[in-house]
Structure 1
Amino acid sequence: MSESQPRTQPGTEPGTRTRIDTEVCVVGGGPAGIMLGTLLARAGIEVVVLEKHADFLRDFRGDTIHPSTLALLGQLGLREEFLELPHNEVASLDLVASGIRVHPVDFRRLPPPDDFLTFMPQWDFLDFLSRKATAHPTFRLLMSTAASGLLRDGESGRVLGVQAAGPEGEIDVHATLTVAADGRASTIRDAAGYVPTDFGIGIDVLWFDLPRPQKTPPPTIAYLDANAMVLTIDRRDYYQAGMVIPKGGFGELQAAGLDAFRETLATTARFLRPVVGSIESWDQVKLLTVQVSRLETWHEPGLLFIGDSAHAMSPAFGVGVNYAIQDAVATANRVVPALRAAALTDADLAAVQRRRLPPVRVMQAIQLKLHEVIARPGGGAILSNPPTRAQRAALRLGLPIVRRIMPRLLGRGVRPESISAEVLAPPAS
């Protein structure tokens, strides 16, 4: 195993392709890809990460850093430095249904120090991790470099790497293992011919920024009534806000006009009324098409899917980043020993799927049920104001159970991962 950067062999004639040889090629510089690249490089594994964009500055991406991710950063010795970056810490999450405040999640029930949720722009998180990864000589991040297809062995069909194009031309990246972490619209997944099962969720989300009102309530993730569901994420200086709409309903909403949109926001989340006038154009409103889908097979010889390329999660609970990072940890734990021994097999990739697919199935089932019952336009009608006798009894009996379960389910995950001692151990000289 080399301690130098992955090897590059430039083409010597016009029109030839540059060849890069490495142990692992990761396609996609999101949370799954950057975390996996960081872990592999720390373990001394040669890794090339391809990111098609020139930077990480894309808005309205998953910005939630869960307690489980904080614990992983602690294992890497990066937790305290990470928390020096601008962020918000939230110890509990409330929701307001039909004007009634409910307290279902308190992360302080988790063991300290990782007993809170962090909101941080995803680009800051990815910049931080990639800087740490670059300190390792076996890590290479190629920005503005888009994968376009797979390299395969002509006889066995085994994946040998990827074809890509970057600022300096076309590239062939040859790798023992290729990991597709390139999101829910994965180019590599399409090239390999895999089609995820789509569970047909019936909502989309509109995202927009609002000034911070002079009077603000306690941290509240959602406001629901019989007409709408409004999401609010406190960014210290402003609110990142959203509204859940029926899938495909953005055109109808636009046709009703901005005044009607602003009034819906102000009626459902009343504390926003003084600031909704800041939305002066539909250009300020971004549509997130919500998808819940997954592959049932995540691998073939030489190729593994993780993160959104394997399973697209709903925004519910903000767990997408958490699950992508846990995929990366499970992958590193399994493949690092095999790569060090030059003995990686398809059984190792199957083992990653066996570990990560069950918790994905569980969380997606919870998300789908949540959207069916409450996390949808009009979901607040499940609770009247004042509550009926039956509703009061349900809250009295159900909330204590929810408060015991939800901090661990959301903060740690169905099957939380821990970085193995072998990955954390310094590579052999």
Structure 2
Amino acid sequence: MADQTALPVIIIGGGPAGMMAGFLFARAGVRTIVMEKHADFLRDFRGDTVHPSTLGIFDELGLLDALLARKHDKVASLGAVISGREYRVADFSRLPGPTPFVAMMPQWHFLDFVADVARRLPAFTLRMESEAIGLIEGGTRIAGVRLANGETLEASLVIAADGRSSRIREAAGLPLQDLGAPIDVLWFRVPKPRTPDNRTQAYIDRGEMIVTIDRGDYFQCARVIEKGAADRIRAAGIERFRKDVATTATSLRPHIGTIADWSDVKLLAVSLDRLTCWHRPGLLAIGDAAHAMSPVGGVGINLAIQDAVAAANILTAPLLAHHDPDPLLHQVRARRMFAVHTIQAVQRSIHRNVIGSAMRNKAPFAPAAVRLLQAVPALQAIPAWLLGFGIRREHVLPPDAKRQ
């Protein structure tokens, strides 16, 4: 039972990191309030790839079957079509455990599920349409938050989980390192008939890279472009856009005409950055607020959830005991730093050596590593493991467990 006299942990942002952290703290009995500025979770073109590492966390919580009862599609493998030839790159069916696949689940379904199970906990409160715009500075630490409606709330700890444009991170003055991202992404949908197998893959040809994510009755598509090229592409007209996409991604040809105008195409300005310090006394940043990831690999949602698990594992016990959590805040970054730095380094390499090469080369050929994966299919388990389980995978610990 939560101690209702204790100051709550206040989490800013109801995305994957914020909702998962809120659930885990409240599950352990820590009074927790999640503040989400929107009225619902319904926002398109958000990260929808729920990897085996995240599915494993829900299995540890006894919630996997309930989660997978929500609408989703299973991706058992990932492939690429390079200059018209198809290659399989990652085979998730070779992974151990109960979920040898990536679950493609709209993020609003995922967040609705976490909210539903969290609301059953007496220690959990979710406040929608509650926008935090600033921090309360105490004598020596952050003491709470200020809301857009003029309300102020005191907190035992404030967690900034408000995304890659975090207002709370900025208010706290946490130092941000921009690693540079040479690409942007144009997102759009193209309808398709359902098929027995999931046909998620990337098309690389003629200086273009198009990713088609099979969502059952439609492809969620990403045209990867050079940073800042969106205006030039728009100026060429929607007909030219449809032609360029359909020429490269041939599976989209039958229904490419459903892209009627530019209102059907959304720009994602890709960021790749990280805080060099994730905390101040009384405040911790996690998820995209601590490290914005490239969409390469679809790992952002899963890294955010790993951050939430690490934060709950490290901070729950002192918060339950009404001890000052500040001396342990640095441990969250220390725990997650290697994974974040490694994955961002891999993404930067892919930006330069894979995507950059694809955009420069009008007649690309498959790299030697991709050809080797075709010659020895068992090796396709390696990229599947790296994508599916990531680096330094987190597990849910009981509140009194000691982190090694």
Q: What TM-score comes out, normalization by structure 1 length?
A: 0.88
Q: Does 1:361 align with 2:353?
A: no
Give the CA RMSD over aligned residues.
2.2
Structure 1 residues 142-221: aligned runs within 5 Å = 142-154=127-139, 156=140, 158-165=141-148, 169-212=149-192, 219-221=199-201
Tell me which amino acid in the other structure corresponds to 2:276: E
Q: Does 1:65 align with 2:78?
A: no
Tell me which amino acid in the other structure corresponds to 1:170: G
Q: What is the Cα deviation at residue 200 of structure 1?
A: 1.4
Tell me the equivalent position of 1:310: 290
Tell me which amino acid in the other structure corresponds to 1:395: R
Of residues 223, 247, 250, the one that matches 1:243 is: 223
Tell me which amino acid in the other structure corresponds to 2:11: V
Contact preservation (8 Å) 2:31, 2:124? yes
Q: Could you tell which deviates more after superposition, 317-326 or 213-222?
A: 213-222
Distance 1:34 1:190, change over 3 A: same
Mapped to 1, the partners of 2:194 and 2:298 lie a distance apart of 27
Q: What is the Cα deviation at residue 258 of structure 1?
A: 1.2
Tell me which amino acid in the other structure corresponds to 1:117: V
Count of equivalent residues: 400
Q: What is the Cα deviation at residue 195 of structure 1?
A: 3.8
Tell me the equivalent position of 2:238: 258
Q: What is the Cα deviation at residue 40 of structure 1?
A: 0.7
Q: Does 1:396 align with 2:372?
A: yes
Tell me the equivalent position of 1:341: 321
Q: What is the Cα deviation at residue 153 of structure 1?
A: 1.2
Of residues 377, 381, 406, the one that matches 2:383 is: 406
Tell me the equivalent position of 1:33: 18
Q: Deviations over 1:255-304 (max 9, x none)?
A: 11111111111111112111111111001100000010000100111110
Mapped to 2, the partners of 1:170 and 1:290 lie a distance apart of 33
Q: What is the Cα deviation at residue 392 of structure 1?
A: 6.2
Contact preservation (8 Å) 2:92, 2:381? no
Distance 1:334 1:256, change over 3 A: same
Contact preservation (8 Å) 1:39, 1:423? no
Give the 3-state SS of the residue equivalent to 1:184 in structure 2.
Answer: coil
Contact preservation (8 Å) 1:332, 1:423? no
Contact preservation (8 Å) 1:3, 1:137? no
Distance 1:238 1:368, change over 3 A: same
Of residues 197, 200, 209, the one that matches 1:229 is: 209
Contact preservation (8 Å) 2:190, 2:221? yes
Q: Which runs of 5+ in 1 are unaligned?
A: 8-20, 425-429
Tell me the equivalent position of 1:95: 80
Mapped to 2, the partners of 1:416 and 1:336 lie a distance apart of 19
Tell me which amino acid in the other structure corresponds to 1:407: A
Tell me which amino acid in the other structure corresponds to 2:52: P
Q: What is the Cα deviation at residue 77 of structure 1?
A: 1.1
Q: What TM-score comes out, normalization by structure 2 length?
A: 0.93
Mapped to 2, the partners of 1:333 and 1:118 lie a distance apart of 25
Q: Which runs of 5+ in 2 are unaligned?
A: none
Q: Report runs of 4+ in structure 1 exceeding 6 Å deviation.
A: 214-217
Mapped to 1, the partners of 2:290 and 2:368 lie a distance apart of 41
Of residues 325, 332, 335, the one that matches 1:352 is: 332
Tell me the equivalent position of 1:13: none
Distance 1:262 1:306, change over 3 A: same
Contact preservation (8 Å) 2:34, 2:127? yes
Mapped to 1, the partners of 2:60 and 2:283 lie a distance apart of 28
Tell me the equivalent position of 1:18: none
Contact preservation (8 Å) 1:330, 1:417? yes
Structure possessing the higher radius of gyration over alpha carbons: 1
Tell me the equivalent position of 1:417: 394
